[in-house]
Structure 1
Amino acid sequence: MERPHGKCLDASEIVGVSDRGSRLVIYLRDRQIITAKLEKACSPRDFYLGFYVERSDDGKLCVDRDRLMSRAGARCRISKFNRLVTSNRDR
């Protein structure tokens, strides 16, 4: 189940990434799992091996602001973050 997440993530908290069909799955140090919807022309498969992001002044990765760069050369923005939850108590 997915619930809305804020517009930004602390980039230093990202420890892993994978793809889940139409979304990129981002694993954080605190065990949260965040899904990222990419802009329309982008495929999450291009980013499952990892990505780079140009460091912003605030150290965050934000929706509609920062551009991800895959190791394969793709460049995409995130259009939305959601948090994966397992039960009602995680809301």
Structure 2
Amino acid sequence: MTVGMIVALLLAGGAQEAPMLLAQLTIRQQVIIRVPARPQPVQPMRWKEKGGPKCIPAAGLAGAQISREGVDLLLKGGARIRAKLQRCPPLDYYSGFYIRPGIDGRVCQDRDTIRVRSGGSCEIDVFKSLVPVRKK
């Protein structure tokens, strides 16, 4: 039965019945993960970049820290991945940003973006694994 047929049946119902109200409801589903940014520690630890994965599971994200070189993503289990960004507005102005994973539940380089709370977005160019630099 089409909407036009329903409207015609309602109008043909007679004037003695109470008027009926029609409404339309659209449901959309979106998954957006808000990642709060952590402030820099007093004595920042030094990190060395190594080759990184092409994608990381969004469910594995535990937090993030803004650095001069990009965004350091903290993973559950203690691993740290640096997201190097292209064309990016200041991330620390509103102290937070959003990452929207793909349909596959992963955040991937050369595909996904980090959205700044002020409205801009940053393309993720590459992921680098971070390992701590040991003092000699």
TM range (shorter): 0.7 to 0.9
TM-aligned CA deviation for residue 21 of structure 1:
0.7
The residue aligned with 1:55 is: 101
Higher strand share: 1
Aligned counterpart in structure 1 of residue 81 of structure 2, from 34, 39, 42: 34
**Percent identity of equivalent pairs:** 33
Pair 1:5 & 2:52 matched: yes
Whether contact under 8 Å (2:53, 2:129) holds in the other structure is: no
SS of the counterpart of 1:58? coil
TM-score by length of 1: 0.80
SS of the counterpart of 2:123? strand
TM-aligned CA deviation for residue 72 of structure 1:
2.2
The residue aligned with 2:22 is: none
Whether contact under 8 Å (1:5, 1:82) holds in the other structure is: yes
The residue aligned with 2:129 is: 83
TM-aligned CA deviation for residue 71 of structure 1:
1.6
TM-aligned CA deviation for residue 51 of structure 1:
2.3
Structure 2 letter corresponding to 1:22: E
SS of the counterpart of 1:61? strand
Please give the alpha-carbon distance, in whole angstroms, between the structure 1 residues aligned to 2:115 and 2:68.
Answer: 19
TM-score by length of 2: 0.56
TM-aligned CA deviation for residue 86 of structure 1:
2.8
Higher relative contact order (CA 8 A, sep 6+): 1
Aligned residues: 86
The structure-2 alpha-carbon separation of the partners of 1:74 and 1:16, relative to structure 1 and needing over 3 Å to count, comes to same
How large is the RMSD of aligned CA atoms in angstroms? 2.1
Please give the alpha-carbon distance, in whole angstroms, between the structure 2 residues aligned to 1:83 and 1:55.
Answer: 19
